[in-house]
């Protein structure tokens, strides 16, 4: 890697706005806000609207589409036309 062309890469805390859950990771993202983490150190805090803690897919709140019901509804509406 060429020196002095890459952004600083360091520890950052990401916090979910909806749940308040937070996790520590490394990133090039920066923030003026800081938070004291459980290890006693202070890290930049980045607030996120959606993380794995609140996303419907990861929390199990995702809707399951009833494709079989949709097919039956289609067949009731339009019948078996076009089938040989």
Looking at the predicted structure, is the pLDDT value of residue 74 above 60?
yes
The verdict on residue 83 lying in a domain is no
The verdict on residue 3 lying in a domain is no
- For residue 22, the enclosing domain spans 10-78
Q: What is the pLDDT of residues 6-63, one digit of tens each?
A: 998 999 999 998 888 899 999 999 999 999 999 999 999 999 888 877 776 666 665 6
Contact criterion met (CB below 8 Å) for 38 and 23: no
Given phi > 0 = left and psi -120 to 50 = alpha, else beta, which region is 51? Answer: beta
pTM of this prediction?
0.63
pLDDT of residue 72: 80
The verdict on residue 49 lying in a domain is yes
pLDDT of residue 66: 63
* Nearest Cα residue to 41 out of 71, 78, 11, 81: 11
pLDDT band at 79 (very low <50, low <70, confident <90, very high): confident
Would you call 80 helix, strand, or coil by DSSP? coil
Structural domains of the chain, count: 1
């Amino acid at each position: 890697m060429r020196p002095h062309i890459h952004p600083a890469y360091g520890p950052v805390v990401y916090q979910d706005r909806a749940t308040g859950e937070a996790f520590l990771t490394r990133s090039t993202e920066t923030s003026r806000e800081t938070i004291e983490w459980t290890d006693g150190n202070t890290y930049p805090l980045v607030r996120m609207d959606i993380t794995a803690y609140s996303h419907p897919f990861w929390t199990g709140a995702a809707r399951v589409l009833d494709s079989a019901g949709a097919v039956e509804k289609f067949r009731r509406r339009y019948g078996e036309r076009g089938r040989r």
